[in-house]
Amino acid sequence: MNWQTASPAALAAVQKIIDAVRKDTNYVPREHKTIGGMWTVDTWKLDCVTLQLMDEGYTNVIIAGSVTVAMRYAGGQNELSFEHGAEPALIELARIVEINEKARRQ
């Protein structure tokens, strides 16, 4: 993975997505307690967005359409690695998730 320091805008986008998706009602029960005997993976799904929490909580993965991004906390900072998409697509995804979240509350 190509890890890079996360910009404030990217961090805000990731946090908006996590806040919207990571709710008990969106939790997807696991089939296994571990992957490879060491990493637990918890998954939440809301609409087309999947959020996975791995590595004892140090890595989040967001998968949605043309965006796949991992965020980890390492060396005292948050880092991102894009498998698909880039920061502008992540920010747009957060905007769409936020709009849909507001519509659900009405």
Across residues 76-98, what is the average pLDDT?
95
pLDDT > 60? residue 92: yes
Residue 106 counted as domain residue: no
Residue 61 counted as domain residue: yes
Residue 84 counted as domain residue: yes
HEC string for the chain: CCCEECCHHHHHHHHHHHHHHCCHHHEECCCCCCECCCECCEEEEECCEEEEEEHHHCEEEEEECCEEEEEEEECCEEEEEEEECCHHHHHHHHHHHHHHHHHHHC
Q: How many domains does the chain have?
A: 1
Residue 53 counted as domain residue: yes
pTM: 0.88
Residue 43 counted as domain residue: yes
Containing domain of residue 32, as a range?
A: 4-101
Q: Say what the pLDDT of residue 74 is.
A: 84
pLDDT 10s digits, 2-59: 899 999 999 999 999 999 999 999 999 877 666 555 566 889 999 999 999 986 667 8
